[in-house]
Amino acid sequence: MSRITVWILAVVVVVGIVMAIAVGIGYALISGAPIQIEEGTVVEIRLRGPLDELPQENVLAQLLGVDSLSLWEMGKVLQYAARDERVAGVYLEIHPLLLSWAQIEELRDYMKEFRQSEKPLHVFLALDMVRDPELYLAVAADSITLNPDAGLLVNGLLAEITFYKKTMEKLGIKPEFIQFKEYKSAESYSRESMTPEIRGMYESILKDIEDRLVSVVSQDRNVSEESIREVLQGGVSSGTRAVEENLIDGLGYENEVLEKFPTSDSEKYQGITAGRYLSVAKAEFQTRSERKVALVGGLGTITSGDSDPFSETMGGMTLASNLRKIRENEDLEGVIFRVDSPGGSAVGSDMIWKEVALLEEADKPVVVTMSGVAGSGGYYISMAAREIISQPSTITGSIGVIFGKFDVSGLYQWLGISVDQVKTSPNADIFSVSSSLNQAQRESVESWMEDIYENFVGKAAEGRQVDYEDFEPRARGRIYTGAQAVELGLVDDLGGLQTAIEHMKEALGLEPDEEIELVLYPRPRSFWEQLSSGSLLRVRERPSINQWLQEQFPLLSRPGPWVLMPEATIY
């Protein structure tokens, strides 16, 4: 290591320490005196944008986002508040959301559970326009208030796929993609529109989710389904019409919502943010038990290497290692595996699948709880588990494989670039970006992919205890909602984390009222552990740009088999 590199690292470490101290002091100043929860306190939850599945691993990110709770922590807030006699109710303020339909269903489950305590849960929609997802969440509350100038954009669902065929032609780029099978990919680079199979698949998914939206809103708001479908047909609606249709309770402002809550003897409203409440309540209400189960996140696109929470990638090597350690840990009796992944590397997926299978062989049950997406590789890593739980609107399945490369020789010719080759064997250029696959090479790749596909389907059929011939028609790269997947036997039950806990108790031979303690694994590292490893500020020594290129070029230039879902944006 050069002297300059040492100095740079030293400066970065010092800056990191100073920043951490500054953030810590700032947080202490903001926090003030120790938090006291008085009688009649209202817990305030404000939701906006995306929501992480599990707590942030990076300490600095945790400090900077003091009240930025994960979905798991949101559930704890509502569970603890239901049991806490000092809490008078929950105020939920909804801003524009970037949540999956399954995440909304998980939050709805927690809200319904809280309301069983008979404490009020009031919603204020802090939005210019209320969309379908925000309404789907809000109707689980006792009351809904909307700003007088806001409106409803409850107009049904849309799936969009972008196609690049003409762009590729203009650039002189020839896409070469091979898929198993007809539902696996919309072929965005070589087509101009959806195939009948892909279109039918998305029509089925959107209809299932929209039917559920209409049914749930109808039940929660005591409104006929016909009235809701009229609103969907109309598209944009005013807040006044929303009140008339009983989709919301009234138009008003935040202070008017807060006045709905009962006050303590002091007659003064007392509120506490969800993050501050959780920091105190978890010490009083957190489950403690000798029966410990690991809670593991399988989150992000799957690679064959190491996980990187910053880029939201799940490394097969990293996760397989963590599962292996759990298998060897006598204090942990099983694994609840939270999966939210569109898939990725077939090799990385297989690494994780093997460790899940070994946990089951070691009589340490694995129960998968799927979130927004658990398709293709996301399903692959789940299918060896004892039980698979999903929300009704989880997107899952996509049991298939895809391979792709681009021949950019036309682009090179247009740019005046020439490429010359020396080959020691006929297939040395099979992954070259300056040539296309010949017929023999294409047949070789297809044979390889067919083996991967049959392996994927075979393992899935074995995990589901179904014959290959009966199971294969359910595969073919097709995606399903969780509700559809249950009917086809791809998923065992509908629900979220709480349902997974119930199945885990059953797998461990426990009574329903017995407690298990969930242990987040791997445990969050301390500030000094993260600082010394370089992960706190994402500092890693990189000797030179040249070495980095040498490391990355093989990954970029040698395509592998991918178990990725068809990509579409659903609004």
Query: What are the tens digits of pLDDT across the range 418-427?
Result: 999 999 999 9
Please tell me the distance from the alpha carbon of residue 165 to that of residue 477, in angstroms, as a whole number: 22
CB count within 10 Å of CB 373 equals 21
How big is the CA angle at 336 (ends 335 and 340), to the nearest 5 degrees?
130
Residue 365: pLDDT over 80 = yes
Average confidence (pLDDT) over 342-347:
92
Three-state helix/strand/coil letters over 367-390: EEEEEEEEECHHHHCCCCCCEEEE
The pTM score is 0.89
Closest C-alpha among 313, 341, 299 to residue 555: 313
Rg of the chain over all Cα atoms, to the nearest angstrom: 26
Please tell me the distance from the alpha carbon of residue 379 to that of residue 397, in angstroms, as a whole number: 6
Residue 404: pLDDT over 90 = no
Contact between 366 and 463 (Cβ < 8 Å): no
Tell me: cis bond preceding 554? Omega within 30 of 0 counts: no
Q: Which amino acid appears at position 160 of this protein?
A: E
What tokens were used for 336?
């609840």
Please tell me the distance from the alpha carbon of residue 389 to that of residue 517, in angstroms, as a whole number: 19
Q: Which residue has the higher pLDDT, 376 or 542?
A: 376
Eight-state DSSP code of residue 565: P
CA 287: distance to chain centroid?
A: 25
How big is the CA angle at 32 (ends 28 and 36), to the nearest 5 degrees?
125
Contact between 289 and 516 (Cβ < 8 Å): yes
Phi first, then psi: give them for residue 533, nearest 5 degrees: -85, -10
Closest C-alpha among 150, 335, 132, 103 to residue 217: 132
Tell me: cis bond preceding 181? Omega within 30 of 0 counts: yes
pLDDT tens-place string over residues 99-121: 999 999 999 999 999 999 999 99
Sign (positive/negative) of CA torsion 427, 430, 436, 439? positive
Please tell me the distance from the alpha carbon of residue 116 to that of residue 77, in angstroms, as a whole number: 15
Which residues, 6 or more positions from 287, have their beta carbon under 8 angstroms from its beta carbon? 515, 516, 517, 518
What tokens were used for 238?
């005013």
Average confidence (pLDDT) over 375-382:
96
Predicted local distance difference test score (pLDDT) of residue 263: 72
Average confidence (pLDDT) over 552-562:
50
Mean pLDDT in the chain? 88
CB count within 10 Å of CB 284 equals 11
Eight-state DSSP code of residue 515: -
pLDDT tens-place string over residues 449-494: 999 999 999 999 999 999 999 999 999 999 999 999 999 999 999 9
Predicted local distance difference test score (pLDDT) of residue 310: 72
Contact between 316 and 351 (Cβ < 8 Å): yes
pLDDT tens-place string over residues 199-258: 999 999 999 999 999 999 999 999 999 999 999 999 999 999 999 999 999 999 999 999
Average confidence (pLDDT) over 544-554:
45
Contact between 234 and 264 (Cβ < 8 Å): no
Predicted local distance difference test score (pLDDT) of residue 526: 54
Q: 411 falls in which pLDDT band (50, 70, 90)?
A: very high
Please tell me the distance from the alpha carbon of residue 62 to that of residue 307, in angstroms, as a whole number: 19
pLDDT tens-place string over residues 70-87: 999 999 999 999 999 999
Give strand pairing partners of 3: none
12-21, 148-157, 330-339, 375-384: the lowest-pLDDT one: 12-21
Contact between 251 and 239 (Cβ < 8 Å): yes
Q: Which domains are seen in the chain, by residue range?
A: 35-155+235-285 (3.90.226.10), 292-416+430-542+549-570 (3.90.226.10)
Average confidence (pLDDT) over 336-362:
96
pLDDT tens-place string over residues 505-540: 999 999 999 999 999 999 876 555 555 545 444 444
Length of the chain: 571
Predicted local distance difference test score (pLDDT) of residue 556: 41
- Sequence-ordered alpha helix ranges (H) in 345-438: 346-361, 377-380, 409-415
Please tell me the distance from the alpha carbon of residue 9 to that of residue 246, in angstroms, as a whole number: 61
How big is the CA angle at 555 (ends 316 and 529), to the nearest 5 degrees?
50
Residue 2: pLDDT over 60 = no
What tokens were used for 232?
């969907």
201-215, 309-323, 430-444, 534-548: the lowest-pLDDT one: 534-548
Angle between helices 71-83 and 101-115 (to 10 degrees): 10
What tokens were used for 425?
């064997």
CA distances for 360 relative to 272, 292, 339, angstroms = 43, 16, 17
Predicted local distance difference test score (pLDDT) of residue 56: 77
Predicted local distance difference test score (pLDDT) of residue 16: 54
Predicted local distance difference test score (pLDDT) of residue 31: 47
Tokens 């920091």 belong to residue: 279
Contact between 357 and 388 (Cβ < 8 Å): no
Contact between 231 and 153 (Cβ < 8 Å): no
pLDDT tens-place string over residues 179-189: 999 999 888 99
pLDDT tens-place string over residues 3-50: 555 455 555 555 555 555 555 544 444 445 578 899 999 999 999 999
Give strand pairing partners of 341: 374
CA distances for 316 relative to 127, 273, 303, 355, angstroms = 40, 37, 6, 10
What tokens were used for 86?
């000092």
Q: Which amino acid appears at position 40 of this protein?
A: G
Contact between 319 and 302 (Cβ < 8 Å): no
Predicted local distance difference test score (pLDDT) of residue 532: 53
CA distances for 254 relative to 125, 146, 244, 358, angstroms = 9, 9, 21, 53
| 332-341 and 292-299 beta bridge pairing | parallel
Q: Which amino acid appears at position 377 of this protein?
A: G
Predicted local distance difference test score (pLDDT) of residue 308: 82
pLDDT tens-place string over residues 193-213: 999 999 999 999 999 999 999
| 174-180 and 401-407 beta bridge pairing | antiparallel
